A and B are shown apart, each in its own frame.
Chain A
Amino acid sequence: GAVVSQHPSRVICKSGTSVKIECRSLDFQATTMFWYRQFPKQSLMLMATSNEGSKATYEQGVEKDKFLINHASLTLSTLTVTSAHPEDSSFYICSARDGLVGSGTQYFGPGTRLTVL
């Protein structure tokens, strides 16, 4: 089946530093990748959609200068949280869609727990 990996699974950083999270599709080419954030006991909140080789499309209310997304290849997207603050602490999940499948099925990574001290 389609596998999406995410690294790191857990990161703790100091306030003001930047953190990069990687998302890879391991056995398929992901024309589109997505970044979500989940708050405790809430649904998934879509942050942005990225297509390979083009700029990401951010959802309303998401700061594009704070959450930098790069989708440099068909198997890799990165999310960089710049100048992180404690309120950025959250569970970040990426997903990827196989461009050959028309059903819109997205496969999710295992998530990254970010804690900003």
Chain B
Amino acid sequence: DQQVKQNSPSLSVQEGRISILNCDYTNSMFDYFLWYKKYPAEGPTFLISISSIKDKNEDGRFTVFLNKSAKHLSLHIVPSQPGDSAVYFCAAYFQGAQKLVFGQGTRLTINP
């Protein structure tokens, strides 16, 4: 049972444009949602999170939007830069559990 889904395995965006990464979830108990970025042969790096009581959180070029009614969240990166090319994982957490639930990841490629 995949509680967190990233339906796009890959995404290609031109440098300077906006990158939008999507994530859907099924469990309405989740309290927080997080985005991680991962380069090959490295551990994931935490990017940004959002509480389930909010609908938007912004940090520099990164903005996460949460639509609870649709059980959907998205990560916007603007403007996209070549260094943003990586695999992005969406994750969800609820305080009753000890662990994060990860999506399958989306490989983002920024083209010059």
Partners in one complex: yes
Q: Does B80 contact A (CB under 8 A)?
A: no
Q: How large is the interface on B (under 10, 10 to 19, 20 to 34, 35 or more residues)?
A: 20 to 34
Nearest B residue to A95, CB-CB: B43
Are the C-beta atoms of A105 and B44 separated by less than 8 Å?
no
Among A57-91, those with CB < 8 Å from B are 57, 91
Nearest A residue to B32, CB-CB: A103
Q: How far is the CB of A104 from chain B (nearest CB, A)?
A: 3
With contacts A34-B99, A46-B99, A49-B98 known, is A103 near B93, CB below 8 A? yes
Q: Does A25 contact B (CB under 8 A)?
A: no
Distance between Cα atoms of A111 and B94 in the complex (Å): 25
For A102, the chain B residues whose CB sits under 8 A away are 95
Q: How far is the CB of B103 from chain A (nearest CB, A)?
A: 7
Are the C-beta atoms of A105 and B46 separated by less than 8 Å?
yes
For B44, the chain A residues whose CB sits under 8 A away are 44, 93, 95, 108
With contacts A43-B103, A103-B49 known, is A109 near B32, CB below 8 A? no
Q: How far is the CB of A34 from chain B (nearest CB, A)?
A: 7
Nearest A residue to B93, CB-CB: A104
Interface of B is mostly: loop
Q: How many residues belonging to A are interface residues under a CB distance threshold of 8 Å? A: 26
Q: Does B34 contact A (CB under 8 A)?
A: yes
Q: Does A110 contact B (CB under 8 A)?
A: yes
Q: How far is the CB of A23 from chain B (nearest CB, A)?
A: 10
Are the C-beta atoms of B43 and A110 separated by less than 8 Å?
yes
Q: How far is the CB of B28 from chain A (nearest CB, A)?
A: 16
Q: How far is the CB of B30 from chain A (nearest CB, A)?
A: 9
Distance between Cα atoms of A43 and B102 in the complex (Å): 8
Are the C-beta atoms of B42 and A110 separated by less than 8 Å?
yes
Q: Does B45 contact A (CB under 8 A)?
A: yes
Among B58-112, those with CB < 8 Å from A are 89, 93-95, 98-100, 102-105
Contacts A43-B103, A105-B46, A109-B43 given; 7 further ones with Cβ under 8 A?
A103-B34, A103-B93, A104-B95, A105-B49, A107-B46, A108-B36, A110-B42
A-B complex: 6 closest residue pairs judged by Cβ atoms: A104-B93, A108-B43, A103-B32, A108-B44, A111-B43, A93-B43
